[in-house]
Structures are given as C-alpha cells and as structure tokens.
Amino acid sequence: MQIVDRTVASFHYTLTDDAGQVIDSSSGNEPLSYLHGVGNIVPGLEKELAGRMAGDTLQVVVQPEEGYGMPNPMLVQVVPRMAFQGVDQLEIGMAFQAQTPQGPMSVAITGIDGDQVTVDGNHPLAGKALHFAVEITDVREATVEECVHGHVHGAGGHHH
C-alpha cells in the first residue's frame, strides 16, 4: 500500500542538522505514526513521503520554509531576571511555559546578561534545514475515527 491521504504511515527517522548533529531520532522507540495529508508532520517531509511504501528508505532535506518556518523576531524578548522567581539557577537552554495573551507558549532562555534574560518563543528548529533519514515500516488505511479526529490512534498515536 502506498502512502496517500487517509493512510497511516509509520516510520523510523533520524533528524540531523546541517552539521550532521543528531537532533532527534526514533531509534530505540516505536516508529512514529502519522495520518497522511492533514499536516501531522512538517510539510516538506509529508510531501516526500507521499507515494512511498513500507520498506522504503529515503533521505530528505527540508528547508525551513517547509519545516518549522523562519524565526519571528517578535517572539524574542528581554525580561528582567526577577520574572523567574522560584527558579534557583537560570541557564541558557532552559524552557518555560509563558502565559501570553495568546495562551501558553513554550519559551527557551537564549541569553543571560546580568539582570537581563533573553527568552525566545520560536520553535527551536525554526530557521533550520532538517535532514531526515527515514525508513518506512508500515502503511495502513486510516480508520474513519482517525480521519475525523485528524490524528492516529493506538501505537505511536493518541490514546483517548
């Protein structure tokens, strides 16, 4: 069976950056399962998986425009250290949930200069090219319920 809309595809992947550093991998875990055609995964990867079958392996380079987008400078802010009351030691790379008028947002500390702390609400992979090494392990038809919900149920997906 080929990967088309309304199929659930499972695959193992290793994601590396331009320098070849591993960012993420399914190695040692269950393969990732997604419902094809509804944007469960980054567009550049979803596009390349279309028409593939179980057993296929492929290398995909996804540019930021088809990955996590370009960083938005509006999401980078400098806040006073006292905004982090209750946190013993601030370090670059620490992530927090920030309450914003648009709802909770995940931000990471990207700079500390004395009393000034720079936080960045962009996705950590925004602006980065994504190098995926993919091995497709399974393709099956999605259930009606999965199509209605827009995500995969069961192994590698939602349990609810």
Per-residue contact string for residues 107-146; x = within reach of Zn ion by CB under 5 A: ----------------------------------------
Pick the closer one to Zn ion by CB: 37 or 127.
37
Residue closest to Zn ion (Cβ): 149
State in angstroms the smallest separation of the CB of 8 from Zn ion.
12
Quote the CA–CA distance of 146 and 160 in Å, as a whole number.
12
User: Is residue 31 a contact partner of residue 140, using CB atoms and an 8 Å limit?
Assistant: no
Give the range of 5-13, 22-30, 99-107, 147-155 binding Zn ion by CB under 5 A: 147-155
* Sheet of 103-113, strand order: 76-80, 116-120, 103-113, 95-100
Residue type, 66: E
Contact call for residue 81 and Zn ion (CB under 5 A): no
Least distance between Zn ion and beta carbon 146 (Å):
7
Decide: is 147 part of the binding site for Zn ion (CB under 5 A).
no
Rg of the chain on CA atoms, in Å:
19
**Near Zn ion by CB under 5 A: residue from 6, 81, 123, 149:** 149
Nearer to Zn ion among residue 73 and residue 159 (C-beta): 159
The DSSP line for 38-92 is TTSS-HHHHHHHTT-BTT-EEEEEE-GGGTT----GGGEEEEEGGGGTT-S---T
| Contact positions vs Zn ion (CB under 5 A) | 149, 158
